[in-house]
């Protein structure tokens, strides 16, 4: 299904949903996820492309990816990624080998989700809630577009403490427009924490769920979607990326080497969407599809022709609305 969202003007609450995964080590570790750091590195690569039509806007990722974070990448065997950071974008994409698909996939999802968020802000968004914020930088790089907008970041306490320390290091303090609310996703109710943080369930909401579904068992995916559909206002939307179940099971899939890499650092892929797209799965949980693009389709918009993504797409990005 390839349709465009309608352009209605409304007071919109934006929730960026990036549920956190347990970092390497114990649950109390303040060490960031290795895959989150690798994804940040790939955003850095995309932000340096010389063509503004290709380049992504995440100029903050490189600042958050400091010496300590680079040391973690080195410790987890991602030297090839560190080497790529010293290259220009297209040379890096070429030399990354099998990881190039992951790098380009992160780039196109960043561009696409940024576009969805920008459109939402133009449509009248008044609040942004980043759930499981990790190293997401949208609260810091959307600048003037967030003027007058209240931003909330929700995350595991230890992960949030790490993020706040990095933000202080980079910006000299915590920005006044961001409210940080700790949450333990395993023991606390999502709707309750959101309400306590000032979330208004009567306002239309855009949920952004980025780089997460493939790491969460199906019951967690189900619970999250049902919670959103139950507690957010009718007409609220979600944008999320996902892998297809077929691609995860296919031994010839481009995901095979990537799956080995993430499993090696203790963060394996565990969920793939049944079927060719998300329509049936999310429809059963209270949503209707607005758009559902494969990475190959998005690459036509966001990547040079020489770096097209494999087709059929193993990973997709869906925008859906609460019925």
**For residue 13, what pLDDT is reported?**
53
Q: Are 322 and 283 in contact (CB under 8 A)?
A: no
In this prediction, residues 92-109 reach a mean pLDDT of 96
- Range with lowest mean pLDDT among 71-80, 82-91, 207-216, 296-305: 207-216
In this prediction, residues 188-198 reach a mean pLDDT of 86
Question: Any bridge partners for residue 130, and if so which?
Answer: 16, 153
Q: Are 295 and 263 in contact (CB under 8 A)?
A: no
Percent of the chain with pLDDT over 90: 54
What is the rounded distance in angstroms from the CA atom of residue 295 to the CA atom of residue 278? Answer: 14
CATH architecture assignment, domain 12-322: 3-Layer(aba) Sandwich (3.40)
Question: What tokens appear for 67 in the block?
Answer: 């010496």
**What band does 143 get if pLDDT is binned at 50, 70 and 90?**
confident
Question: What tokens appear for 202 in the block?
Answer: 């009567």
In this prediction, residues 213-221 reach a mean pLDDT of 89
N-to-C CA span, the chain: 17
How many C-alpha atoms does 106 have within 13 Å on its Cβ side?
25
Q: Which of 61, 38, 40, 54 is nearest to 90 (CA)?
A: 54
Strand pairing category for 150-155 and 125-131: parallel
What does pLDDT average to over the chain? 87
pLDDT > 80? residue 313: yes
Percent of the chain with pLDDT over 70: 90
- Range with lowest mean pLDDT among 15-24, 43-52, 71-80: 15-24
Q: Which helix (H) or strand (E) holds 126?
A: strand 125-131
The structural domains of the chain, with segments of one domain joined by +, span 12-322
CB atoms within 10 A of CB 54: 17
In this prediction, residues 150-163 reach a mean pLDDT of 85
In this prediction, residues 23-31 reach a mean pLDDT of 45
């Amino acid at each position: 299904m390839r349709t465009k969202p309608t352009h209605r003007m409304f007071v919109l609450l934006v929730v960026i949903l990036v549920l956190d995964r347990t970092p390497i080590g114990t649950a109390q570790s303040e060490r960031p996820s290795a895959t989150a750091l690798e994804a940040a590195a790939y955003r850095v690569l995309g932000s340096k492309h010389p063509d503004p039509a290709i380049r992504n806007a995440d100029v903050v990722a490189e600042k958050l990816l400091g010496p300590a974070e680079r040391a973690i990448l080195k410790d987890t065997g991602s030297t090839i990624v560190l080497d790529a950071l010293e290259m220009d974008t297209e040379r890096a994409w070429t030399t990354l080998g099998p990881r190039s698909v992951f790098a380009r996939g992160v780039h196109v999802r960043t561009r696409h989700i940024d576009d969805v968020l920008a459109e939402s802000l133009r449509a009248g968004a008044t609040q942004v809630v980043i759930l499981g914020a990790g190293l997401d930088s949208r609260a810091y790089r959307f600048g003037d577009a967030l003027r007058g907008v209240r931003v909330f970041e929700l995350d595991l306490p230890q992960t949030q403490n790490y993020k706040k320390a990095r933000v202080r290091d980079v910006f000299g303090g915590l920005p006044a427009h961001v409210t940080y609310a700790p949450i333990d996703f395993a023991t606390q109710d999502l709707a309750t924490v959101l309400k306590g943080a000032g979330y208004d369930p009567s306002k239309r909401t855009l949920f952004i769920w980025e780089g997460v579904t493939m790491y969460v068992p199906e019951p967690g995916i189900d619970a999250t979607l049902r919670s959103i559909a139950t507690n957010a206002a009718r007409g609220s939307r979600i944008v999320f990326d996902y892998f297809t179940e077929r691609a995860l099971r296919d031994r010839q899939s481009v995901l095979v080497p990537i799956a080995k890499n993430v499993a090696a650092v203790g963060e394996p892929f565990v969920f793939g969407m049944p079927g060719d797209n998300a329509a049936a799965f999310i429809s059963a949980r209270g949503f209707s599809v607005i758009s559902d693009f494969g990475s190959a389709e998005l690459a036509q918009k966001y990547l040079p022709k020489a770096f097209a993504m494999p087709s059929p797409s193993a990973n997709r990005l869906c925008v859906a609305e609460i019925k």
